[in-house]
Structure 1
Amino acid sequence: MAHKQHVTVWYDREGDFLEVLFEKKEGYFRETANDQVMEKVDKDGNVIGFHVLRVSRLSHPLDVELTATHSGQ
């Protein structure tokens, strides 16, 4: 049986950013290699979402690697 995951997607037209959340829990945003993308991580460093800044200015697809770090590594 396939595992299903709920994803929340929200676009803020005024702020011009798109947010995608894999989990609704406490976390913080940190930078990625792309200055338009911030990843949201929980207290253990697991990626729980991301947001894309200046969405209306995108002229090509973004290719970004989200990095999860786990305590003990």
Structure 2
Amino acid sequence: MKDNIYIYYDEEGDFLEFNTGEYKNGYFRDVKEGISEWIDEETGKVTGFAIMSFRKRMAKFHNIKLKLPVKLEMIPA
């Protein structure tokens, strides 16, 4: 994976968003109810995803698998 993955979680809104590379202008396109893709306005490529009601959706899962290598950047709120 060339770009870093940036992850943002809003606990109050229960909203998870992650993007590859630096944040760029774009728009959300609904994929499924409560799940959207972030489309880079310049390239038209999908560069991220957003999940509404994340905690509720993940309550039934106990493990999450990620294909490595994955780079994470933790930014304090």
Question: TM-score, normalised on structure 1?
Answer: 0.69
**RMSD of aligned alpha carbons:** 1.8
Corresponding residue of 1:69: none
TM-score by length of 2: 0.65
Task: Provide the rounded CA distance (Å) in 2 between the counterparts of 1:6 and 1:26.
Answer: 17
Q: Which runs of 5+ in 1 are unaligned?
A: 62-73
The 4+ residue runs of structure 1 with deviation greater than 3 A are: none
Question: Percent same amino acid at aligned positions?
Answer: 34
Alpha-carbon distance, 1:4 to partner: 3.2
Matched, 1:38 2:23: no
Deviation for aligned residue 1:45 = 1.9
Aligned residue for 1:8, secondary structure, equals strand
**Pairs within 5 Å for 1:1-73:** 3-23=1-21, 24-32=23-31, 34-43=32-41, 44-58=43-57, 59-60=60-61
CA distance, structure 1, for counterparts of residue 4 and residue 50 of structure 2: 17
- Match of 1:52, SS state, is strand
Other-structure match for 1:66 = none
Which sections of structure 2, spanning at least 5 residues, go unmatched? 64-77
> May I ask how many residue pairs the two structures share in their alignment?
58
Once the two structures are TM-superposed, the CA of residue 48 in structure 1 deviates from its matched residue by: 1.1
